[in-house]
Amino acid sequence: MAPTRWPPPPLLLLLLFQFAAATATPEDASGPPPSPTPWPERFHAVLFTNLTNYSVASTGPPLRITDLYYDWPRRRNLNLVRHQLSADPLYDVEWNNGTSFYFDSSTCRVERFPVGVLPPWWLSGGGAEYMGRGVTGGIECHVWGKAGFIVYYEEASTGRPVRWNFIDVTGIEQFVMSFEPGVALENDAQWQAPARCFPDDDDDDEKEEQGKGNDHVASSSEEAVWDGLEAGIRLLRNLAGAAATS
C-alpha cells in the first residue's frame, strides 16, 4: 500500500485523539473533563499561520503573520495578514452583520456570510469534545476538537489559546505567538474599508452576492490568496453558527 502524504481528516482526528488519550494523566481520567476557557471579550493576538497542505495550484503563500483584534462588544473582528516577504498587508474586517471586507493597497473584495463574529463562548458554550492533554511548542495544553472542523489547544495552567488546526483541505494551522486580553485597536482609521470596496451604491448587495466571480478581485493570483483565507474564515463562521444553535 502506498503511504499517503497526509491522513484524511477522520484518521487525523483519531490519531490526535489516541495520542492525547495515551498522554492523558490519571487524575484527568478520574474527574470530569475540563471545559474550554471562554475567550475574553476583547483581545489582541499575533498568530503564525501555516497552510500545511499548501499547493501552488490551490492556495496563496502558505506562511503568514496575522494580527488579530477580536472585539466582541463592537461585534468586530480585524485581521491584518502579512504574507511572507510581501510588503502589502491584507486587511480583513469582519462585521457581525455578516459583511467582510478584504483589501490591500489596490484591491478589495466584499463577502457576505450567513453568520457574524464568533461569540466568546463559541467553543466553551458546548459541542467541544475533550481530547486530553498534549504538548505543542513545548507548552502543556488541554486539547479539544469540535464538529470535525477544528482542533484547539489551550494552555493548561492559564487557559490561554495556544494553537488551532482547521481540519480542511488547506490544513490551516495557527499558532498564538502573543495574547493580550483586553487590548483593543486604538487607531482604526486604516481599517475603514476604502472607496474601491463600494463601486456602485445602487447595486452593492447584488455584487456582494456574486462571490468568487466578482470583478472586485483584481487578478487570479489574488484570487488564489483568498481561497485559503476564506476556507478558514468559513469554517470559523460555520462553527459560530453551530455554537449559537447548540
Ligand X SMILES: *[C@@H]1O[C@H](CO)[C@@H](O)[C@H](O)[C@H]1NC(C)=O
Question: Least CB distance from residue 231 to ligand X, whole Å?
Answer: 10
CB neighbour list of residue 158: distance below 8 Å, 6 or more residues apart: none
Closest CA to 179 of 159, 199, 150, 197: 159
Asked if 136 touches ligand X (CB under 6 A), the answer is no
Asked if 53 touches ligand X (CB under 6 A), the answer is yes
Site string for ligand X, 161-190 (x = CB under 6 A): --------x---------------------
Sign of CA dihedral 119, 175, 146, 93: positive
Please identify which residue in 35, 37, 86, 99 interacts with ligand X, judged by CB under 6 A: 99
Closest CA to 136 of 157, 160, 149, 155: 155
Question: Least CB distance from residue 48 to ligand X, whole Å?
Answer: 8
Closest CA to 79 of 120, 38, 122, 47: 47
Question: Least CB distance from residue 185 to ligand X, whole Å?
Answer: 15
Question: Least CB distance from residue 101 to ligand X, whole Å?
Answer: 7
Asked if 55 touches ligand X (CB under 6 A), the answer is yes
Q: What distance in Å separates the CA atoms of residue 127 and residue 142, rounded to the nearest whole number? A: 16
Per CB under 6 A, residues contacting ligand X are 6, 50, 52-53, 55, 58, 63, 95, 97, 99, 169
